[in-house]
Amino acid sequence: MHAKQTQSELQTLSTEQLPESERIEAWRENYARATLKLELEPDRHTSFRATLALRALPRLGVVKGFNTPATYRRTSALTDNDDCLLVISKTGASVARLGSRSAQIADGDVILLGAGETGDLVANSDVHYLSLGMPFRALAPMIGDVGRVLARTVSSKSDGVRLLTNYVDYIQRADVSMSAELAQTVSDQVYDLTALVLGANRDFEPFARNRGLRAARLRAIKDDIEANLTNRSISVDLLSKRHGVSPRHIRSLFEQEETEP
């Protein structure tokens, strides 16, 4: 434990805080270019609106956002690093283009972009999304050939995608504050889940399952319990059916949490 603990505070931004005449240019300059290293081109037929909740963790930037139809483009002029951007599309249709590759992104899908390549992400409708920004050099050793997964969607039907989405949603809740120690732990667990979703290499996969996957599954079960506190039929057996794990595994998750320092 550190004697002094700091928090990775959640920051929120909205175009509603800006004068309409300055909205697009301010968002383009202060967020798209400065933070994401992307150019922004809103749809000309729609009044541009966007909201963001940002949290900076060790080696990880987490965003929960919404925007009206727009194109976010990574140009060579803004490509000054090899960071990756993992995008989780919660609702809304988008198209991602990276080099010669392109992919359709539907509700709940996950896609990895960046890694020093130019390209664009086109939102054809209002979109709610989560994104994870992380250095290529930190992610690559966990999954091996990053080129294999760039600009390729992972379906929302994947159990790993569901757990990652739920866990990142939890991180972005306004009432979740973090010490420096907890922020590091959460960041490590998100890397584990990201690697598993994209395809962790054989050496890293068992470690990621034991650390990040367990934490995310426990979080999902806790959220389920909290959402059904007044439901008298809630039980370990019912939870095991909902989450696709055995009652014994659920008990093990809670027992391990109680014994951890």
Give per-residue pLDDT as tens, 207-248. Answer: 888 888 888 788 878 777 777 777 767 777 777 777 777 878
State the pLDDT at residue 195: 92
- The answer to whether position 196 is within a domain reads yes
Residues 6+ apart with CB under 8 A from 129: 63, 64, 65, 66, 87, 88, 89, 90, 92
CA atoms of 69 and 144, how far apart (whole Å): 34
Is position 153 within any domain?
Answer: yes
Does 119 map to a domain?
A: yes
Helix (H, G, I), strand (E, B) or coil at 130: strand
Share of the chain above pLDDT 90, in %: 39
Helix, strand, coil: what percent of the chain each, to 5?
40, 25, 30
What is d(CA 105, CA 122) in angstroms, rounded to the nearest whole number? 10
Question: Does the pLDDT of residue 7 top 70, yes or no?
Answer: no
**pLDDT at residue 151, rounded to an integer:** 82
Q: Which helix (H) or strand (E) holds 240?
A: helix 236-243
Is a pLDDT exceeding 90 seen at residue 4? Answer: no
Structure tokens at 260: 């951890």
For residue 72, being part of any structural domain is answered with yes
Work out the pLDDT band at 6, boundaries 50, 70, 90. very low
Instruction: Give residue-wise pLDDT tens across range 19-52.
Output: 888 899 999 998 888 877 889 999 999 999 999 9
Share of the chain above pLDDT 70, in %: 94
CA distance 1 to 209: 25
Host domain of residue 151:
11-227
Q: Is residue 1 in a domain?
A: no
In total, how many domains does the chain have?
Answer: 1
Q: Which of 147, 150, 134 is nearest to 84 (CA)?
A: 134
Q: pLDDT of 100-147, one tens digit each? A: 888 999 888 999 887 677 888 999 999 999 999 999 889 989 987 777
Quick check: is 116 in a domain? yes
Model confidence at 261: pLDDT above 50: no
Q: Is residue 232 part of a domain?
A: no
Give the confidence band of 94 by pLDDT, cuts at 50, 70, 90.
very high
CATH code where residue 185 lies: 2.60.120.10
Backbone angles phi and psi of 235, in degrees to 5 = -155, 170
Q: What is the pTM of this model?
A: 0.83
Q: Which CA distances in Å does 46 have to 23, 29, 129, 203? A: 13, 20, 19, 48
Would residue 221 count as lying in a domain? yes
Amino acid at 139: L
